[in-house]
Amino acid sequence: MVEKRHLRSERLVVKVGTSTLTHPNGKLNLQAIDQLCYTLSGLVNEGKQVVLVSSGAIGVGLGLMGIDERPSSIPQQQAIAAVGQTQLMTVYQQRFAIYGQKIGQILLTHDVVDYPISHQNVLNTFENLLQLNVIPIVNENDTVAVDELDHHTKFGDNDQLSAIVATTIDADLLIMLSDIDGFFDKNPRKFADAVLKSKINHIDEQTFEGAGGQGTKLGTGGMTTKLKAAQKMLNAGKSMILANGENPSIIFKLLQGDPLGTLFQTQK
């Protein structure tokens, strides 16, 4: 019998990637979104505090605009993100409302987190929303976030954003849902003998060498960005689970201690 995991999860951050929220054709995966909203609403009903970091604004925007490829121009990406973010939040509002769950939107840029007064204001917002049993839905503010000279506003990707949010609000656990079952010793899409690692206590250069490249054409993340997020969580003494988000109700099993996906946790 496989041993159950022991996790603290009174306050948790759930990150979902574009691959979970959309079909390959760019259209919204309404079944997955509904299941996600059902699951997170159930966790709040259990007394847990939940933050959702949601990708998908650009992916949804591309689908709405009938564009197949992510444009290279930053202004074009920002315009598409503005369209997609509105649609994404509308769908979340509708789906969460079915389960009687209230939500709030928080759009962040890196300088807001870096600047002490803004950082405290953002933290206060999170704390008050969580105390009110509201689920904050977080995304990078794609319409204004850029990297220009010393004005660093981009997080780079929502994988790392989710780890920054989790450590900022002192969450016990980050659950990252992706299009892969967890972290493998080599790329499972290229090597049939790739082995899933159930638990990782330490991340080093060798771990990063096992990571592949970028994820899907609609998303920006790959395994390297997920490892960087896991590294941030480990450095803060927190835990992270990387698991397949095809069926978001997997979160229930993860919190019950089922050994699915890869658990990043310091040795205890």
Which residues does the annotation place in the binding site for substrate? 55, 142, 158
Least Cα distance to 13 among 181, 136, 95 occurs for 136
Secondary structure (3-state) at 57: helix
Which residues does the annotation place in the binding site? 15, 55, 142, 158, 178-179, 220-226
Which residues does the annotation place in the binding site for ATP? 15, 178-179, 220-226
> How many Å apart are CA 234 and CA 166, to the nearest integer?
11
31 burial (CB, 10 Å; 0-12 / 13-18 / 19+) is exposed
Alpha helices by DSSP H, listed for the chain, are 18-21, 30-45, 57-65, 74-98, 110-114, 116-131, 158-168, 205-209, 223-235, 250-255
